Amino acid sequence: MTQAVVVMGVSGSGKSTVGAAVAAALGTALIEGDALHPSANIAKMAAGSPLTDADRAPWLDAVAAAMEDGAADGAVPVAACSALKRAYRDRLRTRSGLDILFVHLVGARDALVARMQRRAGHFMPVALLEDQLATLEEPQPDERSLTVDMDMAPDRIAAMVVADLSRDGR
């Protein structure tokens, strides 16, 4: 089965930064999950309302389709996508048909808030962080995942991902 990587976590954890480093290490482009949100989702979040599972479904399908397309040329697609719930990760796996390594970025709430406050022009308000933290379901032992501190250097995380992908002939 073709491999893929999803860099996951709550807002402010560094998904895009780490995802870009992983994509560069693998010689592919980053699939930026935020760019695939329907405009209604972005407007809802910008207004301070959390997304429902129904809101997320078409977005997750778009991320899965982009990953499937990215794998068509033999590349290992890399996506930045919150993938907060097990059901969302299962949907990404099922819809893409890929063997996905989820790289879960974790960090202290205060550090997440500080990062979110420093971002300019992002639609996600700090007020929604609590909802994301409450929604988050940590990857389980039966899921292929790496849990990594968000403060680790992105190139070091990328090296860990590359090592994991090459382990055991995967």
Q: In the predicted model, is pLDDT for residue 1 greater than 60? A: yes
| Sign of the alpha-carbon dihedral angle for 25, 86, 11, 152 | negative
Tens digit of each residue's pLDDT (9 = 90 or more) over 79-110: 999 999 999 999 999 999 999 999 999 998 78
Residue 104 bridge partners (DSSP): 8, 147
State the Cα–Cα distance between residues 98 and 105, nearest whole angstrom: 21
Is 39:68 a contact under the CB 8 Å cutoff?
Answer: no
State the Cα–Cα distance between residues 46 and 37, nearest whole angstrom: 12
Is residue 75 very low, low, confident or very high in pLDDT (cuts 50, 70, 90)?
Answer: very high
**Could you give the 3-state DSSP secondary structure of residue 153?**
coil
* Structural domain of 129: 3-169
The two structure tokens encoding residue 29: 């482009």
**Could you give the 3-state DSSP secondary structure of residue 144?**
coil
State the Cα–Cα distance between residues 111 and 126, nearest whole angstrom: 12
pLDDT of residue 123: 62
Tens digit of each residue's pLDDT (9 = 90 or more) over 120-158: 665 656 667 778 888 899 999 999 999 999 999 999 999
User: What's the number of domains the chain is made of?
Assistant: 1
State the Cα–Cα distance between residues 6 and 79, nearest whole angstrom: 5
As a whole number, the mean pLDDT across the chain is: 89
pTM of the complete model: 0.89
Query: Which of the residue ranges 20-24, 76-80, 165-169 would you say has the lowest mean pLDDT?
Result: 165-169
What is the distance between the terminal CA atoms of the chain, rounded to a whole angstrom? 9
Tens digit of each residue's pLDDT (9 = 90 or more) over 10-49: 887 889 999 999 999 999 999 999 899 998 988 888 888 8
**CATH at 59:** 3.40.50.300
